[in-house]
A and B are shown apart, each in its own frame.
Chain A
Amino acid sequence: MVRDGVAVRKFMGSYFGRLSFFILLGFLLFLASNRVDELRVYQGATVAMYVVAIASLILLTGYSGQVSLGHGALLAIGGYSAALARNHFSAPIWICFGVAIVATALAGAVLGTAAARLSGPYLAGSTLALAVGLPSIANQFHILGGEQGLLFDVGAPPARLGADFTQYKWYFWIAALVALIAIWWLQNILRSRFGRTWRAVRSNEVAAELAGIHVGKSKTLVFTVSSGLAGLAGALLAMTIGTVSPSAFPLTLSFALLTGAVLSGVTTLSGVMIGALTLVVTPEIADAISNRFATSENVTTNLPGLLVSALLILVVLLVPNGPVEQFRTLRTRKRANTHQ
């Protein structure tokens, strides 16, 4: 029995194990998407978008010890570049996603080079600045379409999928597939030479430097990869809402993403679904509360933000390493007790 467990764990840890896990997960999602109603399918697409965005933040915080307070701005760079590629060169959507990744990674490389050499809150402040200034940047350049923003239309689902194949289901398929590939790729890179380097830097910068790792370069690389993922998430977000505009990437989006990352636990990727699901469920709860009790518009507009901020503070105070890590620690402690 115990040996079986080891074999399963060994298989899951191998390259093909992970690949088959993700293929299986994709197949289950495909089955599920045929059985639930339109709203849930659309929310599924949003969850997939959040998974990519939160994974990007977890990578940054968990593997370089820095944090981005304006991740929404990076999503915006991805969304805008995907929309530009689509509108001006009518590129196929896969190319648009690629453009979003590359453009945001480049922007991230510049920002990361500026901030990653320094300890402390420099990257946090720079990203926050970018998120605050986003509307003025969009208004400055005519090509970005100002307040109205740009359309981003990925097109109708292919005809051979059948007449009753809805647009939202098509969004969900694309988003889920992209998210699965992204997470699978991330899992692999974290087990490669790069992942080991990043973990070494995370555990002890001085020791890593003594071992010949260039700490600054390693941090910049983490931020570049994280930015690329954020750009991809931005393109997914643009796809699900159909447009990109400054109002699609408000400061509250950055707050929400950070909340999702902290809830998932910044040290491990395995909790990423917790954060993503919470972010989709929270507005629904806020809606339900304000529909029942609300008398004024103030409550409706401010309650989601209030819930998200309160959740962020509570998690940082009560389970700073995230519920998954907390659970793991508890279990190890329990096991240690029973073995005594």
Chain B
Amino acid sequence: MTMYQFINTILIGITSGAIYSLMATALVLVWRSARVVNFAQAGQALLSTYIGYEFIQRFHSFWLALLLAMIAGAAVAALIDATFMRTLFRRAGHGPIAGVAPIIATLGLLGLIRSLLGLIVGGKDARISPPVSNIGFTVSGHTLALSPLKLLIIGSVLTLMLVLSLIFQRTNVGLALRASAYSPEIARLAGVRVDGIRTLGWALAGAAGAAAGMLQTPDGNGALSPDSLEFSLLLVFGFIAAVIGGLESLVGAVVGGLLLGLVLAFVLTYISGSLVFITAFGVLIVVLLVKPGGLIGSRRGRRA
């Protein structure tokens, strides 16, 4: 019994950790390309998930809806960068507020998206049911926490990460993305269209965030609401995972997400469900105090 409980805890941790990894990846992608932590990512994910929900109603296919939601998420993110963030950097790119203006602006965007969604679809009963069964496999009389749904979530996250790393490592666009993240000025001198590449970074992040939202909702209770706590927690856990990974590296984001998912799953199973959040916050503070550069990130932290 205890052995099965242990295995189940690990399985739950990996599944939720995979979703945190996606969110952390989204945050890291924007941070690398624009030096902005995009707090609006939760709002964008929520918006994309609602779009995905509408597509599910129309086409009755979760996977098609997931794909379309990711495209929509990418388009929204690219639009935000190309219009809103560009204007912001032109107008508030200098002066005492320059350092905090992007943070404030993305938070304002989060509030705006949430209240607009609340105006339009608030109070409506929206629900995304799992595309496959969420009942765990049974091994010699014991029910495992590994259901077809969880397997598919882990599989989708793996596929997405694989595609992303292929883009980054094997294509010219990926090279341009890495170069502009490393040094925008030199990349520009070398002929990289840094502005367009930054928008592309935002778009990739928007797609990753949309996937995180679409996969998280059926893994939870399936309910979708504009003021859902789940999406706020997704943002917070994604941020913590990204900080564990050093905020710079994609590998770090994945490792951070899985670590956080495992730690939280063990706290949930063996201690108490209501301690989950406090544990996550404690992890954040400890990482910031002890290894401010992240467990995976560059050896020197981004010191003040």
Q: Pick from A65, A124, A296, A309: contact of B96, CB below 8 A.
A: A65
Q: Is the CB of B236 within 8 A of A67?
A: no
A34 close to chain B: CB less than 8 A: no
- B56 proximal to A (CB < 8 A): no
Asked if A251 and B288 sit within 8 Å, CB to CB, the answer is no
Give a binary string over A116-157; 1 marks a CB under 8 Å from any B CB, 0 the rest: 111111101110111011011101100000000000000000
Q: Of the candidates A115, A215, A313, which one forms a contact with B108 in the assembled complex, judged by CB atoms under 8 Å apart?
A: A313
Q: Determine if A118 and B96 form an interchain contact, defined as CB atoms under 8 angstroms apart.
A: no
The smallest C-beta distance from A173 to any residue of chain B, in angstroms, reads: 34
Question: Which residue of the partner chain, among B100, B112, B240, contacts A65 with CB atoms under 8 Å?
Answer: B100
| Residues of B104-134 contacting chain A, CB below 8 A | 104-105, 107-112, 114-116, 118-120, 122-123
State the CA gap A129–B233 with chains docked (Å): 8
- CB of B115 within 8 A of CB of A312, answer no
B64-72, B85-93, B201-209, B216-224: which lies at the interface = B85-93
A303–B119 CA distance with the chains assembled, in angstroms: 8
Contacts of B109 in A (CB 8 A): 309, 313
- Which residues of A are found within 8 Å of B280, using beta-carbon distances? 129, 133
Tell me, rounded to whole Å, the shortest Cβ–Cβ distance linking B231 to chain A.
10
Are A124 and B288 CB-contacts (below 8 A) given A119-B302, A136-B274, A262-B104? no
**Residue A270 interfacial (CB < 8 Å):** no
Complex formed: what's the CA distance from A223 to B289 in Å? 16
Segment 207-237 of A: residues with Cβ below 8 Å from B: 215-216, 219
Judge whether B304 is part of the interface by a CB distance below 8 angstroms: yes
Known A-B contacts A114-B285, A133-B236, A312-B108; A306 and B100 likewise in contact (beta carbons under 8 Å): no
B103 in contact with A133 (CB, 8 Å): no
From B35, B111, B240, B247, contact of A308 by CB (8 A) = B111
Q: Check if A113 is an interface residue, CB within 8 A of chain B.
A: yes
Inter-chain contacts of B275 with A (CB < 8 A): 140
Complex contact B118–A136 (CB within 8 A)? no
Q: A316-B88, A317-B87 given as contacts; is B100 within 8 A of A67 (CB)?
A: yes
* Pairs of residues from A and B, 9 with the lowest C-beta to C-beta distance, nearest first: A309-B111, A320-B92, A302-B118, A312-B108, A306-B115, A305-B115, A121-B37, A114-B288, A133-B277
Residues of A near any B CB (own CB < 8 A): 61-62, 65-67, 69, 110-111, 113-122, 124-126, 128-130, 132-133, 135-137, 139-140, 202, 205, 215-216, 219, 251-252, 255, 258-259, 262, 266-267, 296-299, 301-303, 305-306, 308-310, 312-313, 316-318, 320-321
B contact set with A: CB distance below 8 Å:
35-37, 39, 87-88, 91-92, 95-97, 99-101, 103-105, 107-112, 114-116, 118-120, 122-123, 226, 229, 232-233, 235-236, 239-240, 243, 247, 272, 274-278, 280-281, 284-285, 288-289, 292, 301-304
Contacts A65-B99, A118-B288, A215-B304 aside, 18 further interface pairs with beta carbons under 8 A come to A61-B100, A66-B100, A110-B285, A115-B288, A117-B304, A122-B292, A124-B39, A128-B107, A129-B280, A135-B229, A139-B274, A216-B304, A266-B96, A302-B115, A302-B119, A309-B108, A317-B88, A320-B97
